[in-house]
Amino acid sequence: MKKRLIYSCLAVGATFIMGCTKNFEEINTNPTKVDAATFPPNFLLAQAQIKFSNSGYDQLLFQSMWSQSLAGTYSYYSNGDKYVYGGSGRGYLERTWNTSYGASTLVDEMKNLIAGKPEYANLDAVGTIMRVLILQRVTDAYGDIPFSQEGQAKSGVITPVFDTQQSIYTSMLSQLETATAALDVTKDKPSSDLMYGGNIAQWKKLGYSLMLKVAMRLTKVDAATAQKYAEKAYAGGTMASIDDNAKVKADEANGNSNSDVNALLVKDDFREVRWSKTLISYMQSTTDPRVSAVAEISAGTGKAANETYAAGDNTASLQIGMPNGYDLNGGTTDIANAPGYPGTSPADPAVTGDVAAPDGKYSRPRFEVYDDRSRINMLYTYGESELLLAEAASRGWNTGVAATHYANALAADMASIAQFNAAGTVPTASITAYVAAHPLVPATALQQINMEYFVVTSTTFNFNETWANWRRSGFPVLTPVTYIGQFTDGSIPRRIPYPLGVPSTNTANYNDAVARLTGGDVFTARVWWDK
């Protein structure tokens, strides 16, 4: 624009130069230039939502397999499957930190743009809820993190303090209480909201449901605070149906494809990433009708068939989960030596040059359900919130009837699979029968509730939450993998070490945070609430 206007002035000759340059700055101001006064703050909400939800390899290579939801024999999956660095392990490991803070920074800037503007009151409250949703994931993964001074680089804070996790949780609960109460259905509606389309009533339910989740994370370290805020959340009104599920739909056509799917459709991943034996065996032991909704084996045999992006055979009786901790290296840890190995999927003689597929008889996530590059990313479900209310009630807290919440959760968790793709629809009759046959039993309530939490967060690909709740609840009871060269002492990782650049860029605050970790900045140290 500027160049075009200058050239126009020069073209008309010297006699017009004075007239052309008299209002030079006004004439040559780009009318499409955006500044703080004109930038649409709602746009940043949408950007934060898609960025945060698109986790991809950070949870697939680590959290999904530390919790034994998935298993993998391909080399770089050793990071999660075997606690052994593989591929660009440290680079991928830092994605939980980088992706989440990248998203929270967008929320921070949005809140800066609308500060002091009452016409954006709801957007501001929504931003607070989003920020807690984002940063809870970070603190749960790393422990003490920048929270109170996060996102203040523009104000000169480039070495933020690492707040203690205890103080972060106290602040998150307080912020959620204030922001959720402030939401007003009679006021502004966010115009670029990928989660709820600006529905303030649903944001209010998410706010209270998130308060519940934050509160329940404290059951091992501060039961009194957990009870206080769980009861507040229940009284305020948590999610009421699967329509309230917090999810973000990816958009392949416009450059926002699903990161999980992009990873899974790498041929090596597609061929060798499988549902774990821990998950599938448990679901089969309870005759869970979701098995055929979420799992399949290749419809053909051999390597070529197992690399073909096509629907497979989801017959429930054929599904077999793959044990964690095995490889394809031909030694003692080769998958062929795994107990109960179902045998290799033989080469197809009709395919020139085809070879056998050693993992081919193990179950993979169903292609039609999970492998659409524009599919949703699930962040938090109604079923999860009902399970947490059931646990709270089982502890004697005033959050309703535990058995009712548990039954609601079972039905909701099965119905939620269809939100990924209609192919994942579990028949209503099957859901009803399963719920009736699996009532909550007080003597085993905590195990039942948290095993279902394992199933729902695994089958909705919310592996960050699967891993966090396993550390909190102890369910499922997992057997650690034994393998040569592990970056732990043989135990399952309890946290993620801080990114490699942090010690040099924020030395003093990093050192303070590490000093509060038993054992230092290692995988086996436990975050504050994980006692």
Instruction: Convert 238-272 into a string of H (helix), E (strand) and C (coil).
Output: CCCCHHHCEEEECEHHHCECCHHHHHHCCHHHHHH
Domain of residue 21 covers 1-33
pLDDT digits (tens, 9 = 90+) for 434-466: 999 999 999 999 999 999 999 999 999 999 999
Which one, of 483, 490, 492, lies nearest residue 331 by Cα? 483
Query: CB 108: neighbour CB atoms within 10 A?
Result: 20
Partnered with residue 378 across adjacent β-strands are: 247
Task: Find the helix or strand (DSSP H, E) in which 459 lies.
Answer: helix 445-459
Per-residue pLDDT at 66 exceeds 70: yes
Residue 39 located in a structural domain: no
Average pLDDT over residues 420-424: 98
pLDDT digits (tens, 9 = 90+) for 486-525: 999 999 999 999 999 999 999 999 999 999 999 999 999 9
Q: Check: CB of residue 167 under 8 Å from CB of residue 139.
A: no
Q: What is d(CA 269, CA 161) in angstroms, rounded to the nearest whole number?
A: 39
Amino acid letter for position 408: N
Q: What is d(CA 410, CA 395) in angstroms, rounded to the nearest whole number?
A: 19
Question: So what's the pLDDT on residue 17?
Answer: 32
Burial 245-265 (b: 16+ CB within 10 A, else e): bbbbbbeeeeebbbbbbbbbb
What is the DSSP code string of 158-180? -S---B-HHHHHHHHHHHHHHHH
DSSP H helix total and E strand total for the chain: 26, 6
Per-residue pLDDT at 365 exceeds 50: yes
Burial 445-467 (b: 16+ CB within 10 A, else e): bbebbbbbbbbbbbbbbbbbbbb
Question: So what's the pLDDT on residue 530?
Answer: 98
Q: Check: CB of residue 418 under 8 Å from CB of residue 439.
A: no
Residue 202 located in a structural domain: no
Q: What is d(CA 348, CA 455) in angstroms, rounded to the nearest whole number?
A: 34
Question: So what's the pLDDT on residue 9?
Answer: 33
Q: How many domains does the chain have?
A: 1
Q: What is d(CA 299, CA 358) in angstroms, rounded to the nearest whole number?
A: 15
Average pLDDT over residues 370-399: 98
How would residue 89 be classed by pLDDT, with cut points 50, 70 and 90?
A: confident
Per-residue pLDDT at 72 exceeds 80: yes
For residue 410, what are its two tokens?
């079972």
Partnered with residue 380 across adjacent β-strands are: 246
Per-residue pLDDT at 12 exceeds 80: no
Residue 25 located in a structural domain: yes
Residue 479 located in a structural domain: no
Amino acid letter for position 292: S
Provide the mean pLDDT of the chain.
93
Which one, of 216, 165, 247, lies nearest residue 461 by Cα? 247
Residue 22 located in a structural domain: yes
- Sign of the Cα pseudo-torsion (59, 62, 67, 68, in order): positive
Question: So what's the pLDDT on residue 88?
Answer: 81
Phi, psi of 340 (to 5 degrees): 70, 20
Query: CB 417: neighbour CB atoms within 10 A?
Result: 24
Q: What is d(CA 68, CA 72) in angstroms, rounded to the nearest whole number?
A: 10
What whole-number percentage of the chain has pLDDT above 90? 90
How would residue 35 be classed by pLDDT, with cut points 50, 70 and 90?
A: low
Per-residue pLDDT at 353 exceeds 80: yes
Burial 203-239 (b: 16+ CB within 10 A, else e): bbbbbbbbbbbbbbbbbebbeebbbebbbbbbebebb
Q: Check: CB of residue 210 under 8 Å from CB of residue 64.
A: no
Residue 226 located in a structural domain: no
Task: Find the helix or strand (DSSP H, E) in which 378 lies.
Answer: strand 376-380
Residue 117 located in a structural domain: no
Amino acid letter for position 210: L
pLDDT digits (tens, 9 = 90+) for 135-179: 999 999 999 999 999 999 888 999 999 999 999 999 999 999 999
Query: CB 313: neighbour CB atoms within 10 A?
Result: 14
Torsion, Cα 446 451 455 460, to 10 degrees, reads 40
Task: Find the helix or strand (DSSP H, E) in which 482 lies.
Answer: none
Burial 62-99 (b: 16+ CB within 10 A, else e): bbbbbbbbbbbbbebbbbbbbbbbbeebeebbbbbbeb
Residue 12 located in a structural domain: yes
Partnered with residue 334 across adjacent β-strands are: 327
Phi, psi of 251 (to 5 degrees): -145, 85
Q: What is d(CA 266, CA 405) in angstroms, rounded to the nearest whole number?
A: 39
- pTM confidence score: 0.93
